[in-house]
Amino acid sequence: MPRGWRVGWSVPGRCWDPLGPGRDSGGTGRRYEKVCSHCHEANVGPVLKGRQLPVAYVERVVRYGNRAMPSFRPSEIDDAALVDVARLIGGGAPLAKAKE
């Protein structure tokens, strides 16, 4: 596969930010539930809750990817939203279920 190509269809919710850049209408927990939980709550990726990962580490892995974790461009999750999600994961805070 040529360098720079992405196989976004292989990861549910990976190809776009379902809430839109800068439009975190349901809060950070909702963004996590809509994007991250597809893998990290389904035994595909590692469990993130309660691990108290450093915020800078989470930001770097999301931006640049790591092993099977794909990278997310700023057009997919903006910097402010990424910091919020990284703090949520890094703080080990319980994540609220999104209200439908």
**Residue 76 is assigned to a structural domain of this protein:** yes
For residue 92, what pLDDT band results from cuts at 50, 70 and 90?
low
Give pLDDT, residue 7. Answer: 41
**Residue 84 is assigned to a structural domain of this protein:** yes
**Residue 11 is assigned to a structural domain of this protein:** no
pLDDT tens figures, 2-24? 444 444 434 444 444 444 444 44
Give pLDDT, residue 91. Answer: 74
- pTM given for the model: 0.63
**Residue 7 is assigned to a structural domain of this protein:** no
**Residue 56 is assigned to a structural domain of this protein:** yes
Quick one: average pLDDT of 79-88? 90
Residue 37 belongs to what domain range? 27-100
CA 84 vs CA 7, 13, 99: distances in Å:
26, 18, 19
Q: How many domains does the chain have?
A: 1
**Residue 32 is assigned to a structural domain of this protein:** yes
Contact 8, 14 (CB under 8 A): yes
The CATH number given to whatever domain includes residue 58 is 1.10.760.10
